[in-house]
Structure formats: structure tokens, C-alpha cells
Structure 1
């Protein structure tokens, strides 16, 4: 009998019968010694209190083409072909198992919860607290009754707190029709999952490829660069995306974060590997999770683009409230 409380299923090339693992095979598990070394011997750069702010977005009820608004960190509102989709929605003040401690929000949400349009679909990439916020999921369920799509095992994570919430789960490589002419395929990522000390890698994680009438969108979720096979595989299996949304933050110290989080130079390489026409950088600036300065992700992204000979308008760092349209 499996000791996994979230998922029981056949072994695969990324599931050993109890735990999931990354496609590149890079070790993700860190012991308490590594964690203490980082926390007490690391170099924590100052965290700026102010960054240039965008006015909050007030999205339309529906969008005929493609419209993407940044809520903050890894949360996005995607409006495509009349469908409204939220990615990893977090409206809570902290990303933590506790309401009184843990990483605190430094930017207000780029869209006020009350200003959300009718939400049709919620996409979850994995169970970390900065991506799967159960309080926000419950608010969305009460207000909108969206369809919720997540990788294997995350349905059990959600239903442990909210048994009535309906969640559809799929494995890497499986596609789901979201409505109209929009479909989502779950794709691999070099990452891991956990909600506590005892459930590491027991729920799957993923990115998404969305097929829309306005073009293909690659949502990478959280991922280390690894060998780059994850990103080359997007182009090989799905075709080059019109847009890639790639994480550019939470990357220091490299000895600890490299397997699980790309730095901006690796994100630029991932953009080239998948063949994206345009990219947006997220997963930075809202919650302090790691050691780099708050301004460092866009600063390093600018330098990496210049070194690669890529025009800066092809890969923009997102701030809450920013909108990209096509």
C-alpha cells in the first residue's frame, strides 16, 4: 500500500509508486542541514520597499482576442476567445501555512478580487503555498464556481480543506478542453511539491500549453532550467509558442535554488529553446522568498537579453496590474 496520501496510481517515467520526480532527474530534496546553511549563512540582499507601480487593472467581462493581466507573483488572468482563466490565483496577504507568519505581500493584487470578471477556469501548477492558496480557491469557488484543473494529487490537497470543491486532475501530456476553442495540455517542469515536511513530491507539478485562436501560450509554472530538455520539448511536441510566461525570480542562492528555479539568463535561454516569439517574466517582486534583491530579476533579465542580442520588448518583466494583449 502506498504511503502517498494524495495519489495512488501506476508507476511511470516520473512516478515511482510513492513520489513524483523531475524529468531531468536532478535532485530536488534538501535536508535540514542545507536549509539551515541557507537561512543562517546566506547573504540576504536588501529588499526595496518601493518599486514602480502600475495602476490596478479593471479587466473587461470578456475579451475576444488574447488579454493577459498580472495579479502578482505567479498569478495571472488570461482572457482568451471569451474564456476567463486564472493561473495560480493568490489574493492572500501571506504565502504560508500560517496567517500570522511567512512571506508577506509587498504589492497589492494587480486586480482587486471584486473587479474580477466571471471566472470560468482555474489552472493550478503545484501545491506550494505561493501557487496553491486554499483560501483564494475557496473564495473563487463561492463566487464563480470555476472549473479547476490541476496535476495529479492536487485534488486531494484541496479537498482536505474544502471537500465540496470539484477538481479535475491530469498527468503530464494529457489535454483538456477548457471551453470554446481553448484547450490546455499539462507539460513537465523541473520542480517539486510539498505542503508540509512529510509530503514532499507526493503531488505532481506542471506547466501548461494553451491552444487558443490567438496563438499558443506556454505557461512554465515553476521550473529549474536543468538540461533544457523541458523547454526544447515544448517546441518539439507542441510547436513554438506565440507567448511564453517564464519565471525570472526566486533564484538565489544558486547552490540551493538552481535545480528548482531559473535565473533570468536561464529564462532567456528557455525562451530561445522553446522558440517563443515573445515572453513575459513573472514570479518576482511580490513575495520575498529567496536572497536576491527585489530589483535584481529585471536587472539581470535586461543584461541577459542584451548579451543574447534579443530586443527588450520581446521579453518584458511583469508588474502587478500590467496587461499584455494580442
Structure 2
């Protein structure tokens, strides 16, 4: 059994610590106020800064970067951290675009992190669809990460990445059977694209969790940006209509404070 500490820094950015490892997801450390273009006439303004500054982070062994081409997952402050990280794992196109060496994965591919005196971590890339059907050529390649290591009592740790609910995602979840999930939510939408959503809503999250029933779900990436159409209140309204078994899985991480869970 492994005790894992999660510190939600803001948006998709989480510091994950266990067994001597310090992992960071989708680093975003810019101050609020800037507007970021996402291409094809879409953009968003950052509303909230990080709860932990980059200067206060421990040395980072690996950065798990679900995609490199959206500012709400990798901003200027986050990019500045990449060269100092021991390893960067991201999509194949993302790895080719970065100025430093990175490990690029497609969904279904894996890599391993190893260091003396620490448990090895196997990282499996999981499928994401960052929008409605047929949107991948526009929204770009995105992956999630399923992390496994010796001593896990309940199953892998899964970082879903920015995705809507879709068949390949549900199949991957059912095959991996993760115990703890960092679930990217927010129901992203833009005026230009009307009712279309580019990340999961609470209702979709409930449907996904019913396919494999994890032990713990930790929502992230639902706050701090203008393009989120569903914040915590909206997610909780969807959860209120879900079966009690599913409602009880969701735990909200406090920003900036390490919270421990058994994985």
C-alpha cells in the first residue's frame, strides 16, 4: 500500500509525491490576467494564479504533460520548468516540438521511470479526445497517463487528461481499472462553437466512473479559466443526481495543500 500526497496547484497542475518521487502534471505557473489563443478563433483568459509558486517546488523527477499546444496545460512558466525536470513524458508530436529531449507516447504505449532506491513507475498512455467526434485534427493530440508501481494496494493511478467521455476512454478505464483518478473536468466551451464541449462534464464523469468504479476521484482542471462552462457547483449538481455509490467517490482537493490518499 502506498501513501501518495497530491497538491493541487491550479487548473490541471498537481504535484504528486510518493516513495521519493516528485511528479508534476501539466505545469501552469503564469500569473492571472493573460489571454491565450487555442487556435481556430478560440481563446481563454487565465483568472487565477498558481497556489504554489514554481520557486517553492521540490526538484521535479518527471513532468507528465498531456499536451503541449494549449496554454491552460502548458504556459510560459510551465515551459521554463521543463529543462530542469529529470524526464518529460508527453505525446509524440509534443515531444518533437519541445526544444529538449522528451519521451513521446501514443495511446497504448508505455515507458518506465527508474531511480535508485525508489519503486519503478510504469506509465501507460491512455486515449483522449479533446472535443466532439472528428475534432482531433483541430484540437490536436492529447493523452492521459496510468501509473503503476510495486506496492499499490488497490490499482493504478490515472490522470485522464483533457478529454470528453468516449468509447475508447471507457474501454481503457475498464481495462486499467484504476483505483485513484485525477479527473479533468470543466466542460470547456467557446462562443464560436456554441454548445459543443471540449472536456468532460460532471454528467460524463458519472457515466465514465460507472464503467469501472474507482476508489477515489479527484477532480481537477475545472477552475481558474474563462473557458470552463462547468465549475465545482455544476459538477456537484450532476453528482447529486448520481447513485450514492458514485457520489461518494469524489473528493475535492484543497488548492496548495498536500492531501494524502492510499493508492
If the TM-score is normalised by the length of the shorter chain, which range does it land in? 0.7 to 0.9
Alpha-carbon RMSD: 2.6
Call closer, same or farther: CA 1:156–1:200 in 2, change over 3 Å.
farther
1:188 pairs with one of 127, 149, 155:
127
2:146 pairs with one of 209, 214, 217:
209
Q: Aligned-pair distance for 1:69? A: 0.9
Runs of 4+ aligned structure 1 residues displaced above 4 Å come to 252-255
2:88 pairs with one of 136, 145, 148:
148
- Rounded Cα–Cα distance in structure 2 between residues aligned with 1:283 and 1:210: 19
Call closer, same or farther: CA 1:151–1:95 in 2, change over 3 Å.
farther
Call closer, same or farther: CA 1:130–1:276 in 2, change over 3 Å.
same
Tell me what 2:227 maps to: 289
- Rounded Cα–Cα distance in structure 2 between residues aligned with 1:320 and 1:279: 16
Structure 2: state its 5+ residue gaps.
132-136
- Rounded Cα–Cα distance in structure 2 between residues aligned with 1:300 and 1:76: 22
Q: Please list, as runs of the form range in 1=range in 2, the aligned pairs for 1:11-22 lying within 5 A after superposition.
A: none
Tell me what 2:184 maps to: 247
Q: Please list, as runs of the form range in 1=range in 2, the aligned pairs for 1:17-96 lying within 5 A after superposition.
A: 65-93=3-31, 94=34, 96=36
Tell me what 1:124 maps to: 65
Deviations 1:167-212 (A, max 9, x none): 11111111111223211110101126xxxxxx845x5211110113
Report if aligned partners of 1:173, 1:187 keep a CA contact under 8 Å in 2: yes
Query: SS in structure 2 opposite 1:314?
Result: coil
TM-score, length basis structure 1: 0.65
Call closer, same or farther: CA 1:140–1:153 in 2, change over 3 Å.
closer
Query: SS in structure 2 opposite 1:71?
Result: strand
Q: Please list, as runs of the form range in 1=range in 2, the aligned pairs for 1:260-275 lying within 5 A after superposition.
A: 260-275=198-213
Q: Aligned-pair distance for 1:76? A: 0.8
Q: Aligned-pair distance for 1:104? A: 4.0
Q: Aligned-pair distance for 1:317? A: 3.5
- Corresponding position: 1:157 with 2:97: yes
Query: Which has the larger strand fraction?
Result: 2
- Corresponding position: 1:173 with 2:121: no
Structure 1: state its 5+ residue gaps.
1-63, 160-164, 193-198
TM-score, length basis structure 2: 0.80
Q: Aligned-pair distance for 1:261? A: 1.5
Call closer, same or farther: CA 1:242–1:324 in 2, change over 3 Å.
farther
- Rounded Cα–Cα distance in structure 2 between residues aligned with 1:305 and 1:256: 21
Report if aligned partners of 1:225, 1:267 keep a CA contact under 8 Å in 2: yes
Tell me what 1:24 maps to: none
2:80 pairs with one of 138, 148, 155:
138
Deviations 1:137-192 (A, max 9, x none): 22342xx3421011111023222xxxxx2211111111111223211110101126
Instruction: Count the aligned residue pairs.
Output: 238
Report if aligned partners of 1:208, 1:218 keep a CA contact under 8 Å in 2: yes
